[in-house]
Structure 1
Amino acid sequence: MVSILVTGGTGRLGRAVVRRLAAEGAAGGSDPAEVRVLTRRAADPGGHEPFRRMVGDLSTGAGLAAAVDGATTVLHCATTNGRRDVETTRRLVDAARRTGRDPHLVYVSIVGVDRIGLPYYRAKLAAEHLVAGSGLPWTVLRATQFHELLAAVFSLQRWSPVTLAVRGFRFQPIDTRDVAARLAEIVTAGPAGRAADIGGPEVLGMDELARLHLAAHHRRRRVVQVRVPGAVARQYAAGHNLTPRNAFGTITFERFLAGEAGR
């Protein structure tokens, strides 16, 4: 049996991935799939979840051995911040190696981690190197920023008389459901090393995205573009966070916002 362990399965991307994998398993296929989710919390009694909860903690390593045992694929969607991402990835890699069964290790990263000097990005790049050097079959998929992240940036400014956007910054936001669909393809296809980066269906300036967000929430205010100094700002302005030749999916930022407003 195909058995897929998902870390971060209760997070934004993880939930979308688990739903996708569970649905594809329910639809039937040549190989039935068991979907496991690494979580700190056991299932509620009487719950009917389409996955199996594996109680464990990446931050301490507790429960990891049991969680990875028998897994044919380990899909690492969990993320925290900075050095902790490197530490938790190392624990997961070590646990997967100790099974002796060489599971396919899939790691979700970010477009531009090797070209943008944010500390968080440097940690993601270090985690990529751990996966690639693990000796296990592996795939790393880099995606652009999720719609939710940019929406949150603008929502934080909801009480401001103006909405600020960084001049020269462009983004190619992608929907978590589209990333989940690509990850499901990778799980089925098998190890690919560095998979082609993926981004959303359109590249827009931060000011354009701000106006779409204001319109979706029926707010009338001015978008003010500001300049931000420094090397990281120049790297974003150069488009190192974009992958326009690898547009993937169909859910635009505007469409995402329409669905968000309807919930």
Structure 2
Amino acid sequence: MTSPILVTGGTGTLGRLVVARLRDAGRDVRVLSRKSHPDANGLSYATGDLAKNEGIGPAVEGVSAIVHCASDKKGDADATRNLVRAAEQADVPHLVYISIVGVDDVTFGYFKSKLESEQVIKESGVPWTMLRVTQFYDFILNGAQKAKKLPLVPVPAGFKVQPIDPEEVAVKLAELAVGKPAGRVPDLVGPEATDAADMIRAYLKAIHKGAPVLPVWMPGIGKIRSGGLLPKGAEGEYATARVTWEEFLAAKLA
């Protein structure tokens, strides 16, 4: 029997998909969760809180790898420090971390915290693999669904993105988790560079709603307008996913 793989954030948007892909591959999975799960559907849960540094030791004990997906967009770096300390003490042989393309260019707020988490892992004694990806379709869809009732939909002007289906990210993370530590691997990006306004227009068209989209200038996102979240380098220096925004919407709205 192989040692389990621990997934932090295993009940979130990405984490639950990673759990499913690992189980499809026949791997035992342990999920770190702040809540207890009496009806676990065959999954092993470890109750703990990364931010509060509670229950992490037992969660990481005896695992073959950790896939660190947990993120609450606040205090991520401290939570990662707590996880790394426990992983070092337990001699965990592999930590897989998911980060963001452009995080060293767009260095405010959540992006700053993710970059700091990267550094924590790089400076640790735990062998690691790090994958940067672009924004998830789900996040854009959630915003679009909240705005669809408005007669006029405001969207940050020039918000350039190359988003991706999180299912494809989960497949890659599961593949990395069962492999050997590889350091920084090529980024994984969506199939098409676009902007938020065009994506919202495509969503409204898909649900047959004719509300106009109004691009609104916003301060503080100049680096995003200049392409800070887009992949860098020549094609081939990063991997490109396949599922388009239109295909993702069709599946979600079916």
Q: TM over 0.5, yes or no?
A: yes
Partners of 1:2 and 1:175 in 2: how far apart?
29
Match of 1:258 among 247, 250, 253: 250
TM-score (norm 1): 0.89
Which segment is superposed worse, 180-189 or 247-256? 247-256
Within a 5 Å distance, the mapping from 1:94-133 to structure 2 comes to: 94-99=85-90, 101-133=91-123
1:12 is paired with a residue of what secondary structure? coil
Equivalent residue, structure 1, for 2:80: 89
Distance apart, 1:228 and its partner CA: 2.4
Distance apart, 1:182 and its partner CA: 0.8
TM-score (norm 2): 0.92
Equivalent residue, structure 1, for 2:191: 201
Distance apart, 1:248 and its partner CA: 2.8
Q: Aligned pair 1:39/2:9, yes or no?
A: no
AA aligned to 2:114 is K
Task: Flag structure 1 segments of 5+ consecutive residues without an equivalent.
Answer: 26-32
Residues 202 and 247, structure 1, Cα contact 8 Å, conserved in 2: no
Partners of 2:202 and 2:125 in 1: how far apart?
45
Distance apart, 1:155 and its partner CA: 2.2
Q: RMSD between aligned alpha carbons?
A: 1.6
Match of 1:169 among 134, 159, 163: 159
Residues 165 and 206, structure 1, Cα contact 8 Å, conserved in 2: yes
Q: Aligned pair 1:237/2:225, yes or no?
A: yes
Equivalent residue, structure 1, for 2:182: 192
2:105 is paired with a residue of what secondary structure? coil
Equivalent residue, structure 1, for 2:5: 4
1:165 is paired with a residue of what secondary structure? strand
Residues 167-205 of structure 1, C-alpha deviation per residue, up to 9 Å, x if partnerless?
322211111110001101211332111111111111122
Distance apart, 1:247 and its partner CA: 4.6
Q: Aligned pair 1:68/2:69, yes or no?
A: no
1:44 is paired with a residue of what secondary structure? coil
Match of 1:48 among 14, 23, 41: 41
Match of 1:145 among 132, 135, 140: 135
AA aligned to 1:48 is N
Residues 186 and 239, structure 2, Cα contact 8 Å, conserved in 1: no
Match of 2:147 among 139, 157, 176: 157
Distance apart, 1:208 and its partner CA: 1.5
- Identity across the alignment (%): 40
Partners of 1:181 and 1:73 in 2: how far apart?
16
Partners of 2:33 and 2:155 in 1: how far apart?
37
Distance apart, 1:260 and its partner CA: 1.6
Partners of 1:179 and 1:60 in 2: how far apart?
28
Partners of 2:108 and 2:143 in 1: how far apart?
17
AA aligned to 1:171 is V
Partners of 1:134 and 1:118 in 2: how far apart?
24
AA aligned to 1:240 is G
Higher helix share goes to which structure? Answer: 1
1:189 is paired with a residue of what secondary structure? coil
Residues 49-101 of structure 1, C-alpha deviation per residue, up to 9 Å, x if partnerless?
2x31112221222221111011110111000123x1111111100000111x2
Partners of 1:43 and 1:11 in 2: how far apart?
14
Equivalent residue, structure 2, for 1:22: 23
